[in-house]
Structure 1
Amino acid sequence: MPPSLSTDEARALLEWHIAMGVDVALEDDPQDRYAETAARAAAARPARAPELDRAADRRPPASPAALLAGPGETAAAAREAAASAATLDELRAILEAFDGCPLKATASRTVFADGTPGARLMLVGEAPGREEDLSGLPFVGRSGQLLDRMLAAIGLDRSSVYIANVIPWRPPGNRTPTPQETETCLPFVRRQIELARPDVLVALGGASAQSLFRAKEGILKLRGRWLEHEVGGRRIKAMATLHPAYLLRSPAQKKLVWRDLKAIRKALESEGG
């Protein structure tokens, strides 16, 4: 018999498995987890307007060959698919039908956005974590709770901002997305920004800033500086700041984010907010 574990040891082992992305236990009989995931996603997905279903019907069915395409092919397919969306609802439907990124096959669901489309402030992180993958919403775990407090500090909440990620599917075990995965997903978040039309865009963390702004500097050098982000012929005021997850590990850096938050609040007010 395997050695018995104490309560603390068992809890530590369980937490480790959860952090590694394990969310089911093996059983004697085989289970089709992909079918279960699809059923959960279908049950959680809100009803769509008939015109969105017709738009989905016009797209070719998913093919296993999509997952075998080269980086250039998948990036080109993503750009074409993203550009065809006329609204955020259409973009979401197109993204949920897109099979060019292998992360989709291991995620529970697509994490598209939270908050209010058309809000003057848009926040973009890197990728969903475990809690986000389960809920279908970005920033709902410990990082999301801290983000809510950060927004409240400048008089905002989720109803007055729009929140998304560069990557809409959770990487297994919360690993770092590969460059190919990021490049494949980038056209979708760029189109999302274009359709959301924020006045101020904030990248949360170095990975998001490097993807959106093509920045080379580290986040500690880049944060707090106003940039211009051009999308769809519009120039948007943009800034990078530290990711809430980083602040949970390094709480002493909250003073830097407080400066950034005050600058963001001032920018919104100067633009008529």
Structure 2
Amino acid sequence: MRTDEDGGMRAHGTKEFWLDSLRTDAAAFRTVAAEADLTATVPTCPDWTVLDLVQHLGGVYRWIRGFAGRGVTTAPDPASRRHDYPGADATLAWFDDEFKALLELLEAVDPQMPAYNWAPQPKVAGFWHRRMAHETAVHRWDIQMAQGLAEPIEDRLAADGVTEVLDSLLPAGRRTGPTDRYGVVQLVAADEHHHEEWFIRLRGEGIALLDTDTLLDADGPDTRVRAVGPASDLQLALWGRIGFDSLDVSGDESLLSALRVG
């Protein structure tokens, strides 16, 4: 892993890469939303309807837009996360306006400009180019899955999404899985045109993303697990969208649940 010019540790990604992904997945999300029954349930987001999902994503866009371009690293007012949502008939037009405004901001902002984020990452705006690409990709999958036609997340984006979980969300305390696991997890993305691997050491509530050069047989007899699959499946499993049994797993499968963030 290495520090990139847009801020943070990542496997892949530049401002334009993340913005291209954001545009593509937001368009696909919007297409399904326009055709779907807004009262239909979203199986991968318990207790949510399609309307809830559209309003959630639009609300995230509005929240980020409120502070990501300010040029300061202080946290926004928590009250800014509360929104008045339009009625169902006006929701899609409202979503279009929120996405357009967010995209215009992210296109204009320098990724090196100071900006708040909640992770142990450089406090620069590039964090939000990346975060919005992944937020949108996962929810695009959700809304497609609600209609029974989900497409995988693009493999390079998904590989970066795996890294984002490991270098941002888990260290920031966003773990939803158990915090009493100890051992080493190896994740392997094995796509046709892309191969990548990650090693993670679990120490109860602690977690460390390891460079492969730091792993030695002398490190100790830690319990280990190896999970192999397409990058999209790895990212979706970490987000709790699919089971880890969708992957080729060898070793102690219980360690994998400690990496979940959704």
Compute the TM-score of the two structures, normalised by the length of structure 1.
Answer: 0.29
Structure number with greater Rg is 1
Higher helix content, 1 or 2:
1
Higher strand content, 1 or 2:
2
Compute the TM-score of the two structures, normalised by the length of structure 2.
Answer: 0.30
